[in-house]
Amino acid sequence: MHQTFSYRRQEVVQDSPLVSDFQNRWPALFTVFFIFVLFPFYFQVNAEFMRITTLPLQTEVLGQLDKYTDNLIKIFSNRGGAAGKMIRFIMAPTAKCNYICVRRDCVLKSLCVYLNEKVDSLVKEYLNCNSEDTKRETALTVMGLYVHKEGVDAVEKPEDIGVIIEGTALLCNLGSISLGCAILLGLVYSLNLSYPPEHKFTFEFFQKVLMNLDGKKLSPKVQALKI
């Protein structure tokens, strides 16, 4: 993958292939490798993101998110109206569970609401992954995460979390929404995609605040949140 990077980058930038076609041509990019015991799962998209930006994707996104979490929670707690009510509902599981992935996931979903964007169009939760309605909605998804749950308990670990782009499930069994968002950002860079307009502020926060990529050029909304 390292040796073929320039060829692959030229292809994706100049030809703008369909994601499904690119996945068939470069399947390793969408592969998870077992490396060693302490940090067993390695996503090839991490390496691709590093080749493009020289920055570590997964560790940087999650590390910076943890750094800002306490301040974000304070900001969220001051939000009123319907958005504040929704944020309090989303953050409720953190009072029952101290698991760091639950905390990260709740903060990211609350961030989306705080920025006046629809969290359920970015993170699509399904109770029945095999229903025709679920398959139909998945096929129509331009970009986002799917979360398959067997129960309605918000703290219960989902059966599966994965990334969907252009109606194609590219990676699955990610374990958390926060990791899914990091991988989704990496795929946006790897596939040279534009951010979905309905979530442009959320992705701007990922890119420019968490990753500090082009971080001096912020929209007023994200600039106010960063301050």
Instruction: Supply 166's token pair.
Output: 């252009």
**In this predicted structure, what is the pLDDT of residue 36?**
47
Q: Is the pLDDT of residue 38 over 90?
A: no
pLDDT of 151 > 70? The answer is: no
Cα gap 158→191, rounded to integer Å: 27
pLDDT of residue 96: 86
Confidence of residue 59 (pLDDT cuts 50, 70, 90): very high
Predicted pLDDT of residue 198: 94
Tell me, yes or no, if the pTM score tops 0.85. Answer: yes
Mean of the pLDDT values across residues 182-194?
Answer: 95
The answer to whether the CB of 144 falls within 8 A of the CB of 5 is: no
Mean pLDDT of the chain: 89
Cα(168)–Cα(18) distance, rounded to whole angstroms? Answer: 10
**Range scoring the smallest mean pLDDT among 54-68, 134-148, 187-201:** 134-148
What is the rounded average pLDDT of the residues 94-111? 92
* pLDDT value for 136: 84
Which pLDDT score is estimated for 41? 55
The amino acid at 77:
S
Interval 171-179 mean pLDDT: 90
Residue with tokens 């670990």: 157
